[in-house]
């Protein structure tokens, strides 16, 4: 990368991708200037693109980074459920002010629905129930059902979500067996395409506005087909201009930071 392009990766300019190249070049510059490799650059502000692993909560990622870089001011720009993987934007230091901006950006997901059953959580956090036969569904029927969900629609979030009802997360109330009424919200889905069908599994790609619950989309899609469905896998591939292809795994981020500090 030439010097002109490298400017976008400095503190004074918007950081497009905080990848292996960016971290290596940042630490190399600090070494050349005889600057200590400590938490100061993270306090000044960094946008980290992390590929969240399966079973980790979004806060698990934030906590790990806080401990590693020794900076308390760390936050993420949009929760991913533990069973989802993919792009998580993590902001440090002064750049935590940008979190709301990133949260409002368009999102892109890929994943799979399992047709012919539902679950209370709309995903694999709970056991499938109400199973039905889907062998009679055709490719044409499945693809045609996406049309009703494209554009500006009203979507009801799942009761097993972090949305607060009377100050308490809805999922806490739901787990206690209490009745929870969720209000529909306006969202926009600009792209909803079926990428592969291997019944009962259906793979998809979705581009949507913030606030969209892909779990709810799975549930509603199953209802539209008359057979039920739940979300069986999910990966966030893009947030605005940021792509998961440019993200670091947690292990890679930890290794690189530790390596650069040991070489300081």
Specify whether the CB–CB gap between 250 and 50 falls below 8 A.
yes
Query: Of 38, 51, 60, 81, which residue is the catalytic one?
Result: 81
Place of tokens 């209370």: 120
Active site residue 38: no
Q: What phi, psi does 222 have (nearest 5°)? A: -65, -40
Cα separation of 57 and 46, whole Å? 21
C-alpha distances in Å from residue 121, one per residue of 46, 112, 144, 161, 232: 35, 15, 25, 9, 11
DSSP string spanning the chain?
Answer: --HHHHGGGSTTS-----SHHHHHHHHHHHHHTT---SSHHHHH-EEEEEEEPTT--HHHHHHHHHHHHT-S-EEESS---TTEEEEEEEEEGGGGGGHHHHHTS-EEEEEEEEES-B-TTSSTTS--BS----TT--HHHHHHGGGGGSEEEEEPPPSSSS-EETTEEHHHHHHTT----PPPEEEEEEEEEEEEEETTEEEEEEEE-TT--HHHHHHHHHHHHTS-EEEEEEEEEEETTEEGGGPEEHHHHHHHHHHHHHT-
Residue numbers annotated as active site: 81
């Amino acid at each position: 990368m030439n010097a002109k392009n490298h400017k976008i990766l400095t503190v004074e300019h918007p950081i497009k991708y905080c990848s292996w190249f960016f971290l290596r070049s940042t630490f190399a510059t600090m070494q050349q200037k005889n600057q200590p490799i400590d938490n100061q650059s993270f306090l000044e502000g960094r946008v980290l693109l992390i590929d969240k692993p399966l079973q980790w909560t979004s806060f698990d990622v934030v906590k790990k980074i806080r401990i590693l870089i020794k900076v308390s001011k760390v936050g993420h720009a949009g929760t991913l459920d533990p069973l989802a993987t993919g792009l998580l934007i993590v902001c440090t230091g002064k750049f935590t002010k940008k979190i709301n901006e990133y949260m409002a950006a368009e999102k892109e997901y890929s994943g799979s629905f399992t047709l012919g059953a539902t679950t209370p959580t709309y995903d694999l956090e709970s056991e499938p129930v109400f199973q039905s036969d889907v062998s009679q569904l055709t490719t044409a029927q499945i693809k045609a059902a996406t049309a009703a969900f494209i554009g500006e629609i009203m979507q009801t979030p799942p009761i097993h979500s972090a949305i607060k009802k009377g100050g308490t997360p809805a999922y806490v109330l739901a787990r206690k067996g209490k009745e929870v009424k969720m209000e529909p919200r306006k969202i926009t889905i600009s792209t909803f395409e079926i990428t592969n069908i291997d019944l009962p599994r259906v793979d998809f790609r979705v581009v949507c506005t913030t606030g969209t619950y892909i779990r709810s989309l799975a549930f509603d899609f199953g209802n539209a087909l008359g057979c039920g469905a739940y979300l069986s896998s999910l990966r966030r591939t893009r947030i605005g201009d940021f792509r998961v292809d440019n993200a670091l795994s947690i292990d890679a981020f930890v290794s690189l930071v530790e390596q650069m500090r040991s070489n300081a």
